[in-house]
């Protein structure tokens, strides 16, 4: 079986866009599932976060979408708001050469009135959390008559979080003549039972898409004191020059102080934690995902639900409390067959934590003094993209195709100069190659999008 997207029977807009954004070869879960998905059959897929499963079910949905019919045709249920937002962003990226595809994210944390207003204008695809989706179905703002695809993403987490009743309540109202796709990291009895209840003639696609043994090089550096961490960090960054790295800290104060320290050393860094408001959090994560921010400094709680593709490295500025948390942290890099780096700082009193970690992770680990890294190396990685903002969004009925069209026609950019397009309620963020961002801002400020003028600027 070929693992190239061009071998699939995809509509031309999808095939062209995949080539433009550099999606040429399929990941194992995509190669294993897409032929079945495109045939319309039900599947249960085993896939970890970061394996490419969103593109698998997303391409299937978009390929069969009737764009002229604005009724909701696909419903994707996710366990968390962060995952729902990421899935929506990925779908918009896949659909950016298809005109007038409307994708809505329906989760908690957003006012009902705003979501009801958005639903009044219709949506081809709804991505949401079960609780909020169920409530809006109950109030008749989400209509299920034309839904032909149901996706349960990270189904094991959906069940762990207690959403079984909501899922079954939604499923009972859907047509039996539909395609149901269920993706799960594991196949416990509860998942197999759920599949029997809501699927028919199902095909199982089992792919071990966690990082393979040896994909992550792990370095543990012993420090004389916790006060040595900042100097140690500059040494590690200078030696390895990761393009993008997440640094984990144990408190909000440490994340802010460390981010400020890096900025004073002319390194593009930003912190996220529980006190960062949602708008700023979205802006920071968008820049990091867009490859226009080098370093994200985060607490464990703030980092939940974050999935960054092609993350070069993670660094444990503070060791986690147990080995399982360590494995979870480093698992954000070295995904989909790619190599990753994991660095950790510790002092002598924390040796017991290192012993605990080594019981879980036995491969490819190096433990040494920070002095072995050497001096004099300077971190020189520069983000390849800038993120620009456009003062219009979903309320202005702006879609990815509108933005891409304006950048090509008004700003005279090549489609390959444009990265992720993130459309929010009243603002849109667009990743642009750094050498083209000034041209994009100037031309879009002078021109029009959907026959309207919008403010355009650089996100910093």
DSSP string computed for 321-350: SSHHHHHHHHTTSS-TT--EEEEEEE-GGG
H/E element, 431: strand 428-433
385-458 under CATH 3.40.50.300, yes or no: no
Query: What percent of the chain lies above the pLDDT cut of 90?
Result: 59
Token pair in block for residue 314: 């993670």
Q: Where in the chain is the domain with CATH 3.30.70.330?
A: 385-458
Residue whose token pair is 């196949």: 187
Task: Give the N- to C-terminal CA distance of the chain in Å, as an integer.
Answer: 45
Mean pLDDT taken over the chain = 89
* Most confidently predicted of 67-76, 155-164, 333-342: 67-76
Which residues neighbour 373 within 8 Å (Cβ) at sequence distance 6 or greater? Answer: 221, 232, 235, 236, 239
> Higher pLDDT residue, 366 or 384?
384
Token pair in block for residue 376: 């004099």
Token pair in block for residue 367: 């433990």
pLDDT of residue 211: 45
DSSP helix/strand/coil, 203: strand
Query: What is the secondary structure of 16-80 as a DSSP string?
Result: HHHHHTT--BPPHHHHHHHHHHHTT--EEEE--TTSSHHHHHHHHHHHT--TT--S--EEEE-SS
Q: Where in the chain is the domain with CATH 3.40.50.300?
A: 5-206, 216-373
Assign residue 364 a region (left: φ > 0; alpha: ψ between -120 and 50; beta: otherwise). Answer: left
CATH for the stretch 5-206: 3.40.50.300
Give the integer Cα–Cα distance in Å for 69 and 86.
25
Q: What is the mean pLDDT of residues 154-182?
A: 92
Partnered with residue 316 across adjacent β-strands are 248, 344
Over 50: is that where the pLDDT of 1 sits? Answer: no
pLDDT of residue 362: 61
DSSP helix/strand/coil, 296: strand
CATH fold of 216-373 reads Rossmann fold (3.40.50)
| Residue ranges with strand state E in 273-426 | 295-298, 313-316, 340-346, 365-369, 385-390, 418-423
Selection from 18, 136, 121 nearest residue 399 by Cα: 121
pLDDT of residue 347: 95
Which residues neighbour 52 within 8 Å (Cβ) at sequence distance 6 or greater? Answer: 26, 27, 29, 30, 209, 336
Q: What is the mean pLDDT of residues 373-377?
A: 87
pLDDT of residue 55: 92
Token pair in block for residue 119: 């639903």
Residue whose token pair is 């849109």: 428
| Residue ranges with strand state E in 254-325 | 269-272, 295-298, 313-316
pLDDT band at 106 (very low <50, low <70, confident <90, very high): very high
Tell me the pLDDT tens digit for each residue of 253-289. Answer: 999 999 999 999 999 999 998 788 878 888 998 999 9
CB 143 within 8 Å of CB 71: yes
pLDDT of residue 210: 46
Give the integer Cα–Cα distance in Å for 333 and 340.
5
Over 50: is that where the pLDDT of 360 sits? Answer: yes
Give the integer Cα–Cα distance in Å for 171 and 150.
8
pTM of the model: 0.65
Token pair in block for residue 31: 């190669």
Over 70: is that where the pLDDT of 142 sits? Answer: yes
Tell me the pLDDT tens digit for each residue of 335-357. Answer: 766 789 999 999 999 998 888 88
Tell me the pLDDT tens digit for each residue of 387-440. Answer: 999 999 988 888 888 999 999 988 999 999 999 998 888 999 999 999 999 999
Tell me the pLDDT tens digit for each residue of 205-258. Answer: 987 544 455 688 999 999 999 999 999 999 999 999 999 999 999 999 999 999
Residue 333, class by beta-carbon neighbours within 10 Å (0-12 exposed, 13-18 middle, 19+ buried)? buried
pLDDT of residue 209: 43
How large is the greatest C-alpha to C-alpha distance in the chain, in angstroms? 65
pLDDT of residue 254: 96
């Amino acid at each position: 079986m070929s693992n190239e997207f061009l071998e699939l029977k995809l509509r031309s807009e999808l095939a062209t866009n995949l080539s433009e954004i550099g999606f040429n070869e399929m990941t194992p879960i995509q190669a294993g599932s897409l032929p079945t998905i495109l045939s319309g059959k039900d599947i249960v897929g085993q896939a970890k976060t970061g394996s490419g499963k969103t593109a698998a079910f997303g391409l299937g949905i978009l390929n069969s979408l009737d764009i002229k019919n604005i009724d909701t045709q696909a419903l994707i249920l996710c366990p968390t708001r962060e995952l729902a937002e990421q899935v929506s962003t990925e779908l918009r990226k896949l659909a950016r050469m298809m005109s007038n595809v409307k994708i809505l994210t329906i989760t908690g944390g957003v006012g009902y009135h705003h979501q009801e207003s958005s639903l009044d204008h219709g949506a081809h695809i709804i991505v949401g959390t079960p609780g909020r989706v169920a409530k809006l179905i109950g109030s008749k703002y989400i209509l299920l008559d034309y839904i032909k695809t149901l996706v349960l993403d990270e189904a094991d987490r959906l069940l762990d979080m207690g959403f079984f009743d909501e899922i079954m309540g939604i499923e009972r109202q859907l047509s039996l003549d539909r395609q149901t796709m269920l993706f799960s990291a594991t196949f416990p009895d509860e998942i197999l039972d759920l599949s029997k209840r809501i699927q028919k003639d199902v095909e199982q696609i089992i792919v071990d898409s966690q990082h393979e043994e040896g994909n992550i090089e792990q370095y543990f550096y012993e420090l004389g004191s916790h006060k040595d961490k900042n100097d140690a960090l500059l040494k590690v960054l200078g030696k390895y020059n990761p393009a993008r790295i997440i640094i984990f800290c144990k408190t909000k104060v440490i994340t802010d102080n460390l981010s400020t320290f890096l900025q004073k050393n002319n390194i593009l860094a930003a912190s996220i934690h529980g006190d960062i408001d949602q708008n700023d959090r979205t802006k920071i994560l968008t820049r990091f995902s867009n490859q226009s921010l080098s370093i994200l400094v985060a607490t464990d709680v703030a980092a939940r639900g974050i999935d960054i593709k092609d993350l070069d490295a993670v660094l444990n500025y503070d060791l986690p409390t147990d080995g399982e948390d360590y494995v979870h942290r480093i698992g954000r890099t070295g995904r989909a067959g790619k190599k990753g780096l994991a660095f950790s700082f510790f002092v002598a009193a924390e040796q017991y934590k290192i012993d605990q970690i080594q019981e879980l992770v036995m491969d490819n680990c190096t433990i040494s003094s920070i002095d072995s890294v050497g001096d004099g190396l300077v971190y020189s990685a520069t983000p390849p993209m800038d993120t620009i903002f456009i003062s219009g969004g979903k309320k202005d009925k702006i879609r990815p195709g509108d933005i891409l069209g304006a950048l090509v026609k008004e700003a005279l950019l090549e489609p390959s100069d444009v990265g992720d397009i993130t459309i929010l309620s009243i603002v849109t963020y667009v990743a642009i190659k750094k050498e083209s961002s000034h041209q994009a801002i100037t031309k879009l400020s002078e021109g029009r999008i959907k026959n309207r003028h919008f403010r355009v600027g650089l996100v910093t």
